[in-house]
């Protein structure tokens, strides 16, 4: 079992272009694992996530997130909407913090349940079809969360 906390970046967290929410950082400090997530906009994570990442540099200097397990998820407007770049950004951020990356172990397009539909091994990449996320993508998200929790349990 894993304790899960939703840490959402809101517009109120950005003050004069800088992320300022110490309680969110403290929640991550206490966590064993973190799933970074953001929509993909213009080929990368949303500006709000980038502001969060930039503000995490104090933690980076102290390596306060070192050895935590990390994963990532994103959605974009198109099936090939540069979501991989966002996942790569998350994995580099995790590496800078000394975190251990947890990707997917489901071959893309091979799963009978439709998981990992877009074939991203680095993390969950998805896009909406007819205004909703496909069931297989939601199953992939659940699977990645379970995999992340199992990895954190082994690492703890």
At residue 41, the 3 state secondary structure works out as strand
Residues recorded for the chain = 156
d(CA 131, CA 153): 36
Task: For the chain, 156 residues long, give each residue's pLDDT as a single digit of tens.
Answer: 566 667 889 889 999 999 999 999 999 999 999 999 999 999 999 999 999 999 999 999 999 999 999 999 999 988 888 999 999 999 999 999 999 999 999 988 888 989 999 999 999 999 999 989 999 999 999 999 999 999 988 876
CA atoms within 13 A on the CB side of 61: 5
d(CA 145, CA 142): 5
d(CA 90, CA 102): 11
């Amino acid at each position: 079992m894993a304790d899960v906390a939703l840490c959402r970046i809101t517009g109120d967290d950005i003050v004069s272009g800088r992320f300022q929410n110490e309680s969110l950082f403290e929640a991550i400090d206490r966590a064993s694992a973190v799933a970074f997530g953001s929509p993909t906009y213009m080929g990368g994570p949303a500006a709000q996530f980038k502001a969060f990442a930039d503000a995490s540099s104090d933690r980076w200097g102290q390596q306060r997130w070192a050895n935590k397990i990390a994963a990532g998820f994103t959605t974009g407007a198109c099936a090939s909407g540069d979501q991989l770049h966002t996942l790569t950004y998350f994995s580099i951020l995790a590496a800078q913090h000394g975190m251990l990356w947890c990707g997917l172990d489901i071959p893309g397009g091979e799963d009978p349940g439709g998981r990992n539909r877009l074939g991203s091994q680095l993390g969950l990449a998805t896009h909406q079809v007819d205004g909703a996320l496909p069931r297989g993508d939601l199953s992939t998200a659940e699977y990645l969360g379970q995999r992340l929790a199992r990895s954190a349990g082994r690492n703890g």
